[in-house]
Amino acid sequence: MPAISPITVRPACRADVPALLTLMRSLARFEGYIDDFRVTEQDLLDRGFCPSPEFHALVAVEGETLVGYAVYYTIPFTYDLRPRLIMKELYVVREARSHGVGEKLFGAVVSAAKAAGASSLDWLVLPDNLAAQRFYTCHGGAEDQNWQHWTLRP
């Protein structure tokens, strides 16, 4: 694979929103929910780039191009009175995979969890996404054997 330019990971800013939304749509296609995807640029601006953001986004930038992102949010406290970080999304464009971009993004989310004093960092992985499962295992993640993921669509 050809080498890519140095990657910078930083918090997303308002100017990143159009490219961030494009990456989010790419993930939605990859994970199979593009037909249900409803997020707009205005939604991202209103919910993530406001005085009390509902989520945080980190972007991986090569030159001027976004090549990946991670989105996480915080549950302020649970049973141990410490926050939990929930990584909702981590995505790297195909051309930048296997070049350390995912490691940098994931490392930045882990750093955010440590800085927040979080008791845990949690995320979901599709059952058939074996590459993601290998990636997270190699970086210290493990499937939670104590809990099952449940959902209700009211």
Do 114 and 151 form a contact (C-beta atoms < 8 A)? no
Give the model confidence (pLDDT) of 3-32 as tens digits: 557 999 999 999 999 999 999 999 999 999
pTM: 0.91
Q: Which of 52, 148, 70 has the alpha carbon at shortest distance from 113?
A: 70
Sheet holding 120-123, edge to edge: 7-11, 56-62, 65-75, 84-92, 120-123
Give the model confidence (pLDDT) of 64-120 as tens digits: 999 999 999 999 999 999 999 999 999 999 999 989 999 999 999 999 999 999 999
Do 122 and 84 form a contact (C-beta atoms < 8 A)? yes
- Sort strands 84-92 and 120-123 into parallel, antiparallel or unpaired: parallel
Give the model confidence (pLDDT) of 48-58 as tens digits: 999 999 999 99
The confidence score (pLDDT) of residue 142 equals: 93
Q: How far apart are CA 91 and CA 101, in angstroms?
A: 9
Do 93 and 67 form a contact (C-beta atoms < 8 A)? yes
Tell how many helices (H) and how many strands (E) occur in the chain.
4, 5
Q: How far is CA 49 from the centre of its chain?
A: 16
